[in-house]
Each structure stands twice: as structure tokens, then as C-alpha cells.
Amino acid sequence: MSNIVGIEHDRVTNTTSTDFPGFSADSANTEWSLDYFKENFKLDIKYITERTANFDLIGLDTSIANAFRRIMIAEVPSVAAEYVYIFNNTSVIQDEVLAHRIGLVPLKVDPDQLTWINKEADEKDKFTDDNTIVLSLDIVCSKNPNASPNSTNPDNLYRNHKVYAKNLKFEPQGRQVELFANNPVVPCDPNILLAKLRPGQEISLRVHCILGIGADHAKFSPVSTASYRLLPVIDILKPIVGKDALEFQQCFPNGVIDINEKGEAYVKDSRKDTVSREVLRHEKFNGKVKLGRRRDHFIFNVESTGAMPPEEIFFKSVRILKNKADYLRNCPIANLN
């Protein structure tokens, strides 16, 4: 029971963290064991799509699980617009607002193909084909000569009156002609609206995109969401049958509780539970059910912006945490007695 966080009607119990991962006050073995960890740790992948991954990490301490979450959000590098050179902007959107909108457009590019930029270098030496992606945007709005005389629809009256992310064109430099020949840099979501124009208005600019991390700016974060929750635990202490079973079933989201052939309620899939505690409001179920959450079972949900697959984001977070541990292990200060 020390591994279960208790969920009661008006409070949460057994929330005290341990002195170190794996420690249990009611266990005879109070030291952390690598062999025990290897034996009990599990990675259970539920599903992976182009942009979303859902998986379980079982047998981890909260500090490690939370480290993965924070690293995925703030320390996994990706590529985004950093410098916007505006040559002409006669739209109603101010230059700085337009530049900000362009910066938030996620780009489909492998960050491992670029090197980090030296921001302290001179302007002429700062940008190279090794560290910078160049995008251009040149668009002019004009009237549609074939528009219907009675039409009031801007899509019919004007040409190029909506400026989308797909209007950003990749301009390969140097070795990038071959490097990105098969995978040119494009926005992950081509239909992001950047600006609206009217006849005679135009936008002309160049964008320099570089490597960065979410800790510096949210535009560099490769995830739109990276979160976890603890596995819900539902223990039915006494049989619940008949009409009570149907009412008990309705206290949980669909798929959590089912009723067997004997008319008795049982837990079908506690993973789908949202821990609303609705069942604890009913006096008839008092003493018949106990709710909790397993402390070392984390249900992760990672949504990528499209810059890279969600599973790659997690793998990179593991490598980053490993590098941090190696650095700390080899740091002279850490080895002082």
C-alpha cells in the first residue's frame, strides 16, 4: 500500500515522497538496486501516430519521470525562425507582430542536420549553411479580373489576399542543396494564417532559422503537449450487484467499469478513469470501493508540433538526461569529499 496514493472524498493521502527512489518504509530492503530496477522497469507503448505518442513508464521514481517531461518541453532542440529581415510590409500587421507569427510556425526539419549558431560572432560570420535555414516570403495582393460582379467573397474578389505559412519558401544555401534535396524544409502546418492583404498591399521578407531550445523561447519547443498522470487504482472491496452495479458503472467514464454475467460490477480498465471521485459522493458505496493512484506507474502523452516524431522527442530527452548524469559523474566538484 505504500506504493498507492490514496484518493478520498475530501483529501489525498500517502503523498509524502521518499528519501531516494525505490525506498519503501515497509520493505526489508531499503537500498536502491540496479538489478531490481532492471527487473521491474517496463515501457509499455499504447499507440504512436505521426504527431502523438501514448505510453506507460512503470517502475520509475517521480523525479525521473518529471525530468523526462521537463526536458521534452524545454531542452530538446528544434529549428525555428529567429531573425526576420523585412524589406517591405504594407499590410495592416505591424512588422514585429508579423515576425512573431512567423517565429511560431513549426518547421519540418531534422535539428541534427544543423549546428549551433555563435550569437557573439560578427554578423558576416554568424550565419553559415551549417547553422542557418533561409526562408523567403514575397507576395502581392491584387484584384481578380474574373471575379463575379455581385460577389462579396474576398476569396473570389482578390488574389493572394491570405498569406499562409506555405507561402514561406525554402532557399537552400551551399551544401543544403544536396543535404535537403529529398526533404526540403517546409512548415509542419502549411495553412497557418500569417496575414491578410488587400489589393496593392505586399509583404517581402527573409527569415533566418536556427537551432534553439524551449527554455530560451517556446517557439523552439518541439512539443505542443508533454504530460503524464499516475495510473488510477480502483479496488472493489465488497460485491456490488443489481441496480447498484448499474449506478456504480455510471459513476465512472465509459469503459472503466463493466458488469459480468452474474450482474456484478468489476473493474474492466482503470486506465480510462479520470479520478473524478463521483462514486465517493454516494453513501451506498461507502466502504465498498477504494480509490488510489499507483505512485510508480506513469501514463505519458506526448504531442509533437510536427517538427519531429513524438517517439524521437522522448528518445532525445533520454539522451539529454544521460549526458547530464555523465557530466555530473565526471565533474571534479561532484567528486570532492
Q: What is the pLDDT along the chain (337 residues), one digit of tens a residue?
A: 578 899 988 899 888 766 566 566 555 556 777 888 888 899 999 999 999 999 999 988 888 999 999 999 999 999 999 999 999 999 999 999 999 999 999 999 999 999 999 888 887 788 899 999 999 999 999 999 988 888 889 999 999 999 999 999 999 999 999 989 888 999 999 999 999 999 999 999 999 999 999 999 999 999 999 999 999 999 999 999 999 999 999 999 999 999 999 899 999 999 999 999 999 999 999 999 999 999 999 999 999 999 999 999 999 999 999 999 999 888 876 555 5
In the prediction, which pLDDT does 197 show?
A: 95
Q: Give the sign of the dihedral formed by CA 172, CA 174, CA 176, CA 181.
A: positive
Nearest alpha carbon to residue 50 among 102, 126, 108: 108
Query: What pLDDT is stored for residue 302 in this prediction?
Result: 96
- Cα 164 from Cα 242, distance rounded (Å): 58
Q: CA dist 172 to 152, 190, 275, Å?
A: 40, 19, 51
Residue 56: name the closest of 222, 223, 230, 225 by CA.
Answer: 230
Q: How many C-beta neighbours within 10 Å does residue 302 have?
A: 27
* Cα of 16 vs its chain's centroid, Å: 28
Q: How many helices (H) and strands (E) does the chain have?
A: 8, 18
Q: Over 58-114, what HEC string results?
A: ECCCHHHHHHHHHHHHHCCCEEEEEEEEEEEECCCCCHHHHHHHHHCCCEECCHHHC
CA–CA dist 109, 130 (Å, integer): 13
C-alpha grid cell for residue 91? 499590410
- Chain-centroid distance, C-alpha 166: 23
Please give the C-alpha separations between residue 317 and each of 76, 108, 188, 256, 324, in angstroms, as whole numbers.
Answer: 6, 19, 21, 32, 11
Q: Which domains does the chain have, with CATH numbers?
A: 4-75+224-301 (3.30.1360.10), 78-220 (2.170.120.12)
Nearest alpha-carbon partner for 258 in 276, 274, 234: 234
Asked whether 68 and 315 are in contact (CB, 8 A), the reply is: no
Q: Which three cell numbers stand for residue 74?
A: 524545454
The predicted model scores a pTM of: 0.87
